[in-house]
Structure 1
């Protein structure tokens, strides 16, 4: 699914035309007046919606079907070789806002600067060096590319060894710690340590959840949400971490590189099967490295040395 780092009137108009909606129909979906939409479109690059409207546009794009996504990309590409605001997979890293594209697996990564953060239930100050973390968990589409490149096995739930199209942007599951480590090595990355993952999830100030201290299940895919399955990794825009990282609570548990005992490794994040409180980034969980479950996946990190030089 395409991701827009900042909506302007140009992207608004492209989405409306891609969805084939009138001004009034489009405005109704966003909960604004048609005059506001008209003004955004008229102002072009200078027409920047408020943050609440940016979030509504993110949601409308995320819930659109693949045909709308294709038309949206095409409309933005008419005059630009590379659309200014649109992030699409590329063979070279591109800096766009706070996101950087990794050159190997094409995934967006978020920079987490070096420094102290408050860790654990006791908010212990801990120093963590600078690193980059995948903005989204590893998806089924990511895993399919890995399988094609390495001959690795597909997850058990893929019918006939092929991922259903409806699950392309859902997190891959039924992968063991060893499977996740193999992907990370192929991509030129590693699995996060417990400290890296926790800092990326809760920021530096000791917030209970990525979005703050409120116990708000609607911001993530957990048991209380009632969905009872994985969801698109970009669905919960209001639940992102202070660094803009998605799905750090709910959807799937994520493997870490930190061992509890030999052959057993930590997990963080909770899943659609878990109650909200289990998703607090300070919480502890672990499993044997051969465990494969339908609510367990992973994401990767990279050190600055593992990232190519970036040009602003």
Structure 2
């Protein structure tokens, strides 16, 4: 962090709250200015340019929302998640170019996307080689109807869409964090590449739950975990937040636009940015997408270093996957 940023952040220190003032299982993230994005060699185009952002103080959940917490919400409200409802043909066709062939009606079922290891090395140009549209997969059955969350109450909830995450956050009296808030909370006061520092991931002494071995067909994990792990299994970051790298990707409130940072950088200092006004992913221009952050148990340096603090990912808000969850934020009242 530059000397200027250090001075500016000292000026915000008066807004710091005592830990006792934070809601249960939340952490106060004091306000400050930080460098968002990255010009590092590993950074993708949509992470550039690095630019200054000022964020007001806010509360952040210590961990991703767990299966236990999400079940409390469902039990209290009777909420039915996106994956538990069959998509309509109209919903599907609205996200693809005009003239696209309609999907087989047999695919229009209550289902979700589940990771399926390949039999061996596959090309990385398309993730279709390791994802499967599986009927009966939902938050209670993360990898299909034969699976269960029994014994995994403290694992992050997965197979939740952006809409599901929004509904939970509203019920809990919270909200989803903005992308800027998420990155600021992950980074802490030091400008570093990973939540644990600048050293690379160590498979012999892992700092987070990411893929170990050869992706996407051979896992060398020696701890008995192939997918998610319980929250708090790995050390927290500087802000005492757990699982800000790996385990599950985490939904943010922002719409995704591939050139959003270019516009924000022109402001000098972007103040409490809320995301793009409209979504645009050049790879799928007809589909609206929302941002998610943090990487997951499927990230590996050979394909996806999404566990880097500045790494961005985007997905349609009605999508659910077995490596995608969320955590909540809350503004100071």
- TM-score tier after normalising by the smaller chain length: 0.5 to 0.7
Structure 1 residues 100 and 279 mapped into 2: Cα distance closer, same or farther (>3 Å)? Answer: farther
Q: After TM superposition, list the pairs within 5 Å mapping 1:1-312 onto structure 2.
A: 98=19, 102=23, 107-122=24-39, 123-153=50-80, 156=138, 158=140, 164-217=149-202, 218-224=206-212, 226=221, 227-237=225-235, 240-260=236-256, 261-262=278-279, 263-275=288-300, 277-305=305-333
User: C-alpha deviations, 1:248-292, integer Å up to 9, x for none?
Assistant: 000001000010144310010011011152211101110000001
RMSD: 2.4
Q: Cα deviation per residue 1:92-137 (whole Å; 9 max; x = unaligned)?
A: xxxx9847663xxxx5011110111121104432110000100000
Structure number with higher helix proportion: 1
Distance 1:161 1:147 in 2: 21
Give the Cα separation in 2 of the matches to 1:251 and 1:132. 21
TM normalised by structure 2 equals 0.57
Shift of 1:146: 0.3
C-alpha contact (below 8 Å) 2:36/2:183 kept by paired residues: yes
1:233/1:247 contact within 8 Å kept: yes
Using the TM superposition, give the Cα deviation of residue 193 of structure 1 relative to its aligned residue in structure 2, in angstroms: 0.6
Deviations 1:49-82 (A, max 9, x none): xxxxxxxxxxxxxxxxxxxxxxxxxxxxxxxxxx
Partners of 1:291 and 1:101 lie apart in 2 by: 32
- What SS class does the counterpart of residue 151 from structure 2 fall into? helix
> Number of paired residues?
204
**1:241 Cα deviation after fit:** 1.6
Where do 5+ consecutive residues of structure 2 fail to align?
1-16, 40-49, 82-136, 213-219, 257-277, 280-287
Using structure 1 for the length normalisation, give the TM-score.
0.61
1:136-184 CA-to-partner distances (Å, cap 9, x unmatched) read 0000000000001110136725258996331100000000000000001
Unaligned ranges ≥5, structure 1? 1-95, 306-312
